[in-house]
Amino acid sequence: MLRTILVADGYRIIAEASNGKAGVEQAIKLKPDLVFLDIEMPDTSGVDVLKELMKELPKTIVLMVSGLRDAETIKSCLASGAAGFIIKPFNAGTVLKVMRDAVIRAEQRTPPTRIS
């Protein structure tokens, strides 16, 4: 779904990973501007992957994606460096708005002010 939304809006996908370990490896290798990261993965927690990405690639914008609506999990992700949080199910408008807001904040170096 994310791929379809992003490609339709003119963005280029440089990689996809089926688990956290592969995602970290690809991100370190490719150094993307933006990563969409699910909290629930088969091999590790997205929160742990987020922390690793922030350590290795502090300028990469990471947006968390999840069906979880737990406020503590969301706060933990934002405190660990996530630039935003997208709750499943989502639509194209939500994804693009959260992504664009995160990019603008990163350019201005301001912290996120709300959870979408």
- Residue among 92, 94, 89 nearest 116 (CA): 94
* Residue 93: inside a domain: yes
In a domain, 26, yes or no: yes
Q: What is the pTM of this model?
A: 0.89
Domain count of the fold of the chain: 1
Give me the tens of pLDDT residue by residue for the chain, a chain 116 residues long: 899 999 999 999 999 999 999 999 999 999 999 999 999 888 889 999 999 999 999 999 999 999 888 888 888 899 999 999 999 999 999 999 999 999 998 888 755 555 54
Residue 39, in any domain of the structure:
yes
> Could you list the residue range(s) of the whole structural domain that residue 94 is in?
2-105
Domain CATH for 14: 3.40.50.2300
- Name the residue type at position 32: P
